[in-house]
Amino acid sequence: MTLSTDTNLSKAVQVLKNAQRICILTGAGISAESGIPTFRDEQSGLWKSFRAEDLASIDAFNRDPKLVWSWYQWRRAEVKDKSPNPAHHALAKWQQHSVKADKPSQQLSLITQNVDDLHEQAGSSATHLHGELWKNHCSDCGMPYIAHIDTGSTELVECDACGGYVRPSIVWFGEMLPQRAWQVAQQSADNCDVFMSIGTSSIVYPAAGLAQVAKQNGATVIEINPHPTDSGLVDIQIPYPAGQALPALINQLGL
């Protein structure tokens, strides 16, 4: 069976045609086809012997700020030239259509765990649960740092106000999610008819709990992932790469 004749894709299309409120949660897998490694892929190059989990924390930064800063500068350099893939473009087209359509209007909220800006580059508006790779703030006083930082440099940068070290505005392990973004995500999961989980391993909480909330409230859960997860929550699995599945899906939705 090919993707276009996959019965699960047709089931998803039927459910989505009748849905009024759709909550979409994306993870690293949606950017994989743009050439950005997923979180749980092995790291490459210089960083092969480190685990992302051991670098993405305030303890790691306090212990060795230069190491953690250099890692993020390396990640920025890796992401800098990447472009949205057909999955990002399909979601943007869908979102733009849902805003324009007069009747019946479909509400589509896009929540992402990704810190890249590929959804925005494709023309979507997304709520970032885990922060944004291109933003920085002071690790001491919290003041945003807005001056340009060259991705080629691994020198630590100091805050203009207090001299503390500047850090990426990313939610590290053990830190709270941005309050407003989390509120938006919860409300959208709470109230949706369909919850779509795209390209995420669904193991990092609290984001992974959004599908549970949606399911408890009666939503149908659709997953797009070439390696289906075993969360036990999914009603319709679409076991294909997002860059193939999403264009096919919106094509069948007639968009």
What is the C-alpha to C-alpha distance for residues 249 and 241, in angstroms, rounded to an integer? 12
Q: State which residue, 87 or 159, has the beta carbon closest to ligand APR.
A: 87
With contacts defined by CB under 6 A, name the span among 14-22, 23-31, 65-73, 175-183 that binds ligand APR.
23-31
Site membership for ligand APR, residue 95 (CB under 6 A): no
Amino acid at 197: S
Q: State which residue, 29 or 247, has the beta carbon closest to ligand APR.
A: 29
Q: State which residue, 55 or 219, has the beta carbon closest to ligand APR.
A: 55
Q: State which residue, 164 or 209, has the beta carbon closest to ligand APR.
A: 209
Q: DSSP of 20-55, one letter per residue?
A: SEEEEEE-THHHHTTTPPPTTSPP-GGGTTS-HHHH
Site membership for ligand APR, residue 31 (CB under 6 A): no
Please give the residues from 203 up to 242 whose contact with ligand APR meets the rule CB under 6 A: 204, 224-227, 241-242
What is the C-alpha to C-alpha distance for residues 147 and 136, in angstroms, rounded to an integer? 9
Q: Is 97 a catalytic residue?
A: no
Site membership for ligand APR, residue 103 (CB under 6 A): no
With contacts defined by CB under 6 A, name the span among 30-38, 99-107, 135-143, 179-187 that binds ligand APR.
30-38
Beta carbons of 246 and 255 less than 8 angstroms apart:
no
Site membership for ligand APR, residue 32 (CB under 6 A): yes
- Nearest residue to 36 (alpha-carbon basis) of 190, 213, 242: 242
The alpha carbon of 6 is separated from its chain's Cα centroid by a whole number of angstroms, namely: 26
Name which position in 9, 23, 28, 68 contacts ligand APR (CB under 6 A). Answer: 28
> What torsion do the CA atoms of 150, 153, 159, 160 make, to the nearest 10 degrees?
-60
What is the C-alpha to C-alpha distance for residues 198 and 110, in angstroms, rounded to an integer? 11
Beta carbons of 97 and 255 less than 8 angstroms apart:
yes
Name which position in 72, 200, 213, 234 contacts ligand APR (CB under 6 A). Answer: 200
- Nearest residue to 26 (alpha-carbon basis) of 119, 98, 121, 134: 119
With contacts defined by CB under 6 A, name the span among 14-22, 32-40, 91-99, 102-110 that binds ligand APR.
32-40
Q: How far is the CB of 114 from ligand APR (least distance, A)?
A: 6
89, two tokens = 């473009």
What is the C-alpha to C-alpha distance for residues 114 and 116, in angstroms, rounded to an integer? 6
With contacts defined by CB under 6 A, name the span among 8-16, 25-33, 42-50, 160-168 that binds ligand APR.
25-33
Site membership for ligand APR, residue 39 (CB under 6 A): yes
Residues that bind ligand APR (CB under 6 A): 27-29, 32-33, 38-40, 52, 113, 130, 199-201, 204, 224-227, 241-243
Residues that are catalytic? 130
